[in-house]
Copies of this chain bind each other. A is one copy, B any other.
Amino acid sequence: MSPIERDSLPESWSRVAIVSVSPQVDGGRWPVRRSVGERVDVVAGIIIDGHDKIAAEVRVGHEDDAEPSTVPLKLRYNDEYVGHFDVTTLGSYHYQVSAWVDLIGTWHDQFRRRVDGGENQRELRAELLEGATHLRAAANEADGEDREHLLDLASRMELGHIDAGLSEDVIRLGRKWSPRHGLVEGPRIEVVVDPELARFAAWYEFFPRSTSDVAGRHGTFDDAAERLPRIKELGFDIVYLPPIHPIGTTFRKGKDNAPTAGPDDPGSPWAMGAEDGGHKAVHAELGGIDAFDRFVAKADELGIKVALDIAFQTSPDHPYVKQHPEWFKHRPDGTIRYAENPPKKYQDVYPFDFESDDWQALWLELKSVFEFWMDHGVRVFRVDNPHTKSIPFWQWCIGELRREHPDLIFLSEAFTRPKMMHTLAKLGFNNSYTYFTWRNTKEELTEYAHELFHTEVADFFRPNFWPNTPDILHDYLVYGGRAAHIIRLVLAATMSPTYGIYGPPYEHVDNRQHPDREEYAHNEKYEIRHWNWNDSSSLQPLMRRINRIRRDHVALQYARNIAFHEVDNDAIIAYSKHTGDDIILVVVNLDPHHEQSGWVSFDPQAHDLAAGRSIQVHDLIGDERYLWNGDRHFVKLNPSVMPAHIFHIRHEVSTERDFPYFQ
């Protein structure tokens, strides 16, 4: 053969090939997203010619670890090797699969089959000699007792001792020390780990200016702080406030978005910035920055996090407009371009020009807005319309902020097309609004949950389920009234571990809709409302109970563990969540107007419960208990009483009260 021919040959190669590794996002272009306390299930497709065995492991390390740890992978079926590791620390992990030919395992397996098949002594002795060469190679790498033991085994095999060859130590020590023949490595994959609160949290949105005891009076942060113990007691983890900055007066909108404001109209908090300040100031009537600091201190004391709304746009009165006109787009006539979607005009809003000639200064200033509020104790941000700002800005800004502060939470308010929503999640938004609001039928809910929780979307996109927002009051809530509010609350809070409500109108079932739009009438965005914060006839007691159930049941604190169950009635949806020993089965009548009944399929064996034994089904909402046998179960739900069951399922038939929900 000629040297040229040889040149075409690979320099080195392996019989083993790693053909797929998951989880992985876009072939490694983006990190996998998890939270503290979650498990990463690794599945690697690994192949080899013929019937030889493969050994495989995954190496895992946190960015702060000196040494990675290793987890062995086990063959499941069809060339899939599986293993898992837990992520326990904020920040960045990397994992990498490696695989090699398991020479000793292959030899041992074949030797056992030769012995079992009755192969003759002469042939077995020949095979023992080959096994011994593998063990001597392992002994070369070993030390201490292992080395002695390997050499001893090899000697006995060379002497023809079949029992030595069959010994499990051949496998155990041989695998431990054998050189890794044909070692190959998969890609190094990053896993970004968020705080637990990014995965499991109940959000409560309210307008601080509507918290005064006195109807019509502008509330302050000190008034708002008075509401926090109640919100805490209802079981919420995060209070989310619409923008708190000075509100512009130029082109200020009136009630219900009227084109002109009356003299007493307070304006929309999203028209940010006035003479007395912009994104780093607090609206004077809310009490200024000191009142805000007191509010955050009170929240801290109660263990509640404060989420701010970051909306990168300005009113025409924002100080930036005068100080940095170069950060805005201009027309040829020199005027600043307001927001518009011709023929619609939004003269009260100036968008930033992220491609401004002075973009570097603009980007750094906008990042410093986050830093300013972080200095005031804020760790959670709800970002307004991030999809109308340049994508690379977010990637840079969130990347920089999270480098030092991996505990930050960014909720993306991008009600837009899937590819943009997904990209924002991939680049760093670790909470996202969803289409949940518009998914109301069983088919829609099931299909959407499958997409979010059971496909690769779950590796980068963390949904936050909201039944309502100040901008969105769905017809379902309007026509379905109180029952619909209960239904959507139960769905949001039990399908997704992270959910939120725009609280005051929701708990009071104030579902008066704007005549032209699917949003609230008397919209709090444009006027101060007065709410009864301690109304026991409201949905508050139910919220308290549901949040308590979520807190007591670990199964409700994870997303990917959801499974749907057949019901022979399309008006009833049933799904379970199962983590460890905790099994929750949620059954909801989606029809807010009529009683519905049906048979729910729930197979105890599929949930690690013994077949042929009764299961106790404890409705945690109504505190009622049932015994179920078999795998199909009758349910009947009257929406005017309670349209949902949240069942805790177990074997033990217990009568003790699990917890005193209503004290």
**Which positions in A face B, CB cutoff 8 Å?**
1, 5-6, 8-10, 13-15, 17, 19-20, 26-28, 45, 47, 49-51, 78-79, 110-111, 113-114, 116-119, 126-127, 129-130, 133, 331-333, 335, 341-343, 354-355, 360-361, 363-364, 387-392, 396, 400, 417-420, 422-423
Contacts and interface: CB of A to CB of B under 8 A. Distances in A.
Contacts of A49: 354, 387-391
Most chain B beta-carbon contacts within 10 A, residue among A49, A51, A335: A49
B9 A363 contact: yes
Contact of A17 (B15, B19, B423): B423
Given A1-B364, A396-B9, A396-B10, A130 B331 contact: yes
Contacts of A342: 110-111, 113-114, 117, 119
Contacts of A113: 342-343
B9 A419 contact: no
Contacts of A9: 360, 363-364, 396
B418 A78 contact: yes
Nearest to A339: B50
Contacts of A363: 9
A354 B52 CA distance: 14
A129 B417 contact: no
Counted per complex, copies of this chain come to 2
A648 to B, nearest CB: 38
Q: Which 5 A-B pairs have the closest CB atoms?
A: A117-B343, A27-B27, A129-B332, A13-B392, A113-B342
Given A15-B390, A130-B332, A423 B47 contact: yes
Given A133-B332, A389-B49, A392-B13, A114 B420 contact: no
A573 to B, nearest CB: 27
B391 A47 contact: yes
A78 B419 contact: yes
A438 to B, nearest CB: 15
Contacts of A6: 360, 364
B387 A15 contact: no
Contacts of A343: 113-114, 116-119
Contacts of A50: 387-388
Given A47-B417, A133-B332, 9 more contacts: A1-B360, A1-B361, A8-B400, A15-B355, A17-B391, A47-B420, A49-B354, A78-B419, A126-B332
A246 to B, nearest CB: 24
Contact of A10 (B8, B13, B331, B392): B392
Nearest to A13: B392
A547 to B, nearest CB: 36
27 contacts: A1-B364, A8-B396, A8-B400, A9-B360, A9-B363, A9-B396, A10-B392, A14-B392, A15-B354, A15-B390, A19-B26, A19-B419, A20-B419, A27-B28, A47-B417, A49-B354, A49-B390, A51-B341, A78-B419, A79-B417, A126-B332, A127-B331, A129-B331, A129-B333, A130-B331, A130-B332, A133-B332
Nearest to A391: B17
A342 to B, nearest CB: 4
A116 B342 CA distance: 9
Contacts of A390: 13, 15, 49
A322 to B, nearest CB: 19
A404 to B, nearest CB: 11
A363 to B, nearest CB: 6
Contact of A47 (B110, B129, B419): B419
Nearest to A131: B332
Nearest to A45: B419
A387 B5 CA distance: 25
Nearest to A129: B332
A35 to B, nearest CB: 24
A282 to B, nearest CB: 24
A334 to B, nearest CB: 10
A333 B126 contact: yes
A339 to B, nearest CB: 10
A51 B333 CA distance: 23
A420 to B, nearest CB: 5
A332 B335 CA distance: 90
A45 B423 CA distance: 11
Contacts of A400: 8
A611 to B, nearest CB: 28
Contact of A79 (B28, B126, B419): B419
Nearest to A118: B343
A14 B341 CA distance: 22
A6 B49 CA distance: 53
A331 B126 contact: yes
A319 to B, nearest CB: 17
A28 B27 CA distance: 10
Contacts of A396: 8-10
A26 B26 CA distance: 10
A420 B51 contact: no
Nearest to A427: B17
A130 B335 CA distance: 12
A525 B419 CA distance: 56
A274 B15 CA distance: 29
Kindly name the residue among A119, A129, A391 whose own CB sees the greatest number of chain B CB atoms within 10 A. A391
A28 B187 CA distance: 14
Nearest to A2: B364
A446 B327 CA distance: 58
A189 to B, nearest CB: 13
A161 to B, nearest CB: 16
A341 B117 CA distance: 11
Residue among A9, A17, A360, A389 with the highest chain B CB neighbour number at 10 A: A9
Contacts of A341: 51
Contact of A5 (B27, B364, B388): B364
